């Protein structure tokens, strides 16, 4: 990493327990400004093509191959592509720019390259062979984004569920009002038998159904990539062998649809976070960020629709320091999951000198840290203020890619006093380093009930109930 840009990216609000944090938003800003001012800067256009024919396009500038900062340009391009890939998704990356940049990206996403994990998951998600195409900037196809309305259906008797890695939530909803909610701890990631997941979810649905005179529709929210109610990629089921996953889990929700005989829809939990925000605020242009066992993201555009983007922010890097914490699944450094999740809490607890009982399950370890905060423990306060710094700089990074006026913060990590502590520190970051953004962007923290079960309630609104099915 070039010291010139690292120095320019030094945060004005340093995370108390992570002093070497290197903000992606600040570093990118310094790089882009230097490139824009350079007379020989060259265009770089990144295209991402998805299986439905939609295309995303991002234009920027870098230093030419003969420039002394070209190696830094390679780093910038690699991190840019990584962010775009997980925010917007695609089975094909189109690199429009210097040939050396294209080859660098192609090598990174090759079967033995540094980003082979990302290429493999995208191939699985879109059920197409992953590819990197190198071309001229003006040959990158124009953007062709597709959007569709999501949820907001409140009629009838509905069940909503939200599947996290530590607990599963379910609610019964009557004409838009919740009449029953339940949270049940579970351990899906360490289970190798798909019957465990099926029966756990069905148990929650039957429990909710017992509070309704009938069930008209079921909506679900879950971590992972879901296309047409099929689980394409999901860390919740990482313990299940690949072939068994394809045979049983991929079509599990289609099986449930047939058994319940009512409209059923399952989408990514981040999308439901954004939907919950849009419904509660009666507004659009919302980015939802859910901090739980992992990080989820979702986006509602200016028309209140969702895009065809992935919004898998857990894998999007926000820290460019070369020794940034590594994601245990992908192996990459500085990605959101290590900053906006229970994993962040446990990592920072060590730095804060907080000893956690390793015999406890993750959700109880998190509660132990939050209880310390509630009792005024200074170490816990510094921990959640550090996550608040992450959030401020992370939101500024996301603002480079999303047109947003609101950010909704949800998830178990924000429970109790942790949520206000995190959000207030994030606001401080925005005021200090991004005053223009602070003036046009609002961070929202729902009430305690909405933070914990709001996604399940919003999920219930997903399916459309056809009149003849009533």
Per-residue pLDDT, 468: 55
Q: What is the pLDDT of residue 158?
A: 97
> Is 470 a domain residue?
no
Asked if residue 462 is part of any domain, the answer here is no
Q: Are residues 90 and 182 in the same domain?
A: no
SS3 string of the chain? CCHHHHHHCCCCCCCCCCCCCCEHHHHHHHHHHHHHHCCCCEEEEEEEECCCCCEEEEEEEECCCCCCCHHHHHHHHHHHHHHHHHHHCCCEEEEECCHHHHHHHHHHCCCCCCCHHHHHHHHHHHCCCCEEEEECHHHCCCCECCEEECCCCCCCEEEEEEECCCEEEEEEEECCEEEEEEEEECCHHHCCCHHHHHHHHHHHHHHHHCCCCCCCEEEEEECCEEECCEEEECHHHCCCCHHHHHHHHCCHHHHHHHHHCCCEEEEEHHHHHHHHHHHHHCCCCEEEEEECCCEEEEEECCCCEEECCCCCHHHCECECCCCCCECCCCCCECEHHHCCCHHHHHHHHHHHCCCCCCCCCHHHHHHHHHHHHHCCCHHHHHHHHHHHHHHHHHHHHHCCCCCCCEEEEECHHHCCCHHHHHHHHHHHHHHHHCHHHHHHCEEECCCHHHHHHHHHHHHHCCCCCCHHHC
Given pLDDT bands bounded at 50, 70 and 90, which one contains residue 270? confident
Task: Kindly report the pTM of this predicted structure.
Answer: 0.89
Q: Which residue, of 95, 118, 145, is where some domain finishes?
A: 145
Specify whether 294 is located in the same domain as 385: yes
Q: What is the CATH number of the domain that holds 439?
A: 3.30.420.40
Residue ending a domain, among 117, 145, 173, is 145
Given 270, 292, 311, which residue is the final one in a domain? 270
**With bands split at pLDDT 50, 70 and 90, how would you rate the model's confidence at 374?**
very high
pLDDT for the residue numbered 415: 92
Q: Are residues 276 and 422 in the same domain?
A: yes
Over range 160-185, report the average pLDDT: 91
Q: How many domains does the chain have?
A: 3
Q: Is the domain of 359 the same as that of 331?
A: yes
Asked if residue 208 has pLDDT above 60, the reply is yes
In a domain, 250, yes or no: yes
Whether pLDDT at 451 is above 60: no
187 found inside a domain: yes
- Is 3 contained in some domain? no
- Per-residue pLDDT tens over the stretch 132-151: 999 999 999 999 999 988 88
In a domain, 463, yes or no: no
pLDDT tens profile 215-251: 999 999 888 888 889 999 888 898 999 899 999 999 9
Over 80: is that where the pLDDT of 454 sits? no
Question: What confidence score (pLDDT) does residue 268 get?
Answer: 86
In which domain, by residue range, is 409 found?
272-455
The predicted structure's pLDDT at residue 4: 78
pLDDT for the residue numbered 3: 66
Task: Summarize the confidence of residues 170-179 as an average pLDDT.
Answer: 93
- Same-domain pairing of 106 and 50: yes
On whether residue 353 sits in a domain, the answer given is: yes
Say yes or no: 432 and 323 in one domain.
yes
- 37-88 residue pLDDT tens: 887 899 999 999 999 999 999 999 999 999 999 999 999 999 999 999 999 9
Are 322 and 363 members of one domain? yes
The answer as to whether 467 is a domain residue is no
Confidence of residue 130 (pLDDT cuts 50, 70, 90): very high
**Could you tell me if 266 and 214 lie in one domain?**
yes
pLDDT digits (tens, 9 = 90+) for 115-127: 999 999 999 999 9
If asked whether residues 287 and 262 sit together in one domain, one would say: no
């Amino acid at each position: 990493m070039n010291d010139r840009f690292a120095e320019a990216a030094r945060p004005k609000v340093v995370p108390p327990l992570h002093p070497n944090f290197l903000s992606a938003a600040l570093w990118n800003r310094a790089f882009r400004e230097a490139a824009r001012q350079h007379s020989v800067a060259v265009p770089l256009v990144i295209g991402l093509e998805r299986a439905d024919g939609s295309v995303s396009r991002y234009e920027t500038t870098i230093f030419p191959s003969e420039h002394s900062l070209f190696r830094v340009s390679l780093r910038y391009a690699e991190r840019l592509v990584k962010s775009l890939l997980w925010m917007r998704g695609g089975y094909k990356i189109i690199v429009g720019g210097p040939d050396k940049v294209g080859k660098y990206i192609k090598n990174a996403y090759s079967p033995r390259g540094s980003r082979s994990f990302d290429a493999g998951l995208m191939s699985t998600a879109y059920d197409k062979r992953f590819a990197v195409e190198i071309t001229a900037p003006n040959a990158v196809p124009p953007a062709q984004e597709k959007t569709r309305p999501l949820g907001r259906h409140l009629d009838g008797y509905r069940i909503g569920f939200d599947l996290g890695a530590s607990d599963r939530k379910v609610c019964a909803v009557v004409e838009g009002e919740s009449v029953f909610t339940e949270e049940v701890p579970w351990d899906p990631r360490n289970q190798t038998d798909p019957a465990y997941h099926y029966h756990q979810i069905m148990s929650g649905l039957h429990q909710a159904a017992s509070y309704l005179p009938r069930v008209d529709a079921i909506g679900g929210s879950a971590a992972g990539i879901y296309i047409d109610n099929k689980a394409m990629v999901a860390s919740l089921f990482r313990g299940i062998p690949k072939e068994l996953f394809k045979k049983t889990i991929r079509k599990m929700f289609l099986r449930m649809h047939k058994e319940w005989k009512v409209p059923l829809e399952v989408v990514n939990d981040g999308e439901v976070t954004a939907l919950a925000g849009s419904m509660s605020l009666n507004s659009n242009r919302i980015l939802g960020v859910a901090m739980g066992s992992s990080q989820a993201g979702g986006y509602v555009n200016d028309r209140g629709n969702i895009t065809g983007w992935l919004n898998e922010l857990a894998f999007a890097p926000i820290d460019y320091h070369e020794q940034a914490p590594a994601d245990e699944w992908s192996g990459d450094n500085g990605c959101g999951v290590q900053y906006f999740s229970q994993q962040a809490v446990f990592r920072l607890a060590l730095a804060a000198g907080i000893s956690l009982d390793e015999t406890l399950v993750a959700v109880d370890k998190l509660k132990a840290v939050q209880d310390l905060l509630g009792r005024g423990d200074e170490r816990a306060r510094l921990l959640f203020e550090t996550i608040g710094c992450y959030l401020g700089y992370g939101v500024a990074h996301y603002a480079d890619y999303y047109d947003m006026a609101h950010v909704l913060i949800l998830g178990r990590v924000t429970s109790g006093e942790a949520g206000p502590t995190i959000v207030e520190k994030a606001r401080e970051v925005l005021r200090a380093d991004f005053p223009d953004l602070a003036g046009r962007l609002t961070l929202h923290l729902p009430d305690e009930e909405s933070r914990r079960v709001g996604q399940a309630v919003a999920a219930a609104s997903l399916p459309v109930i056809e009149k003849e099915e009533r």
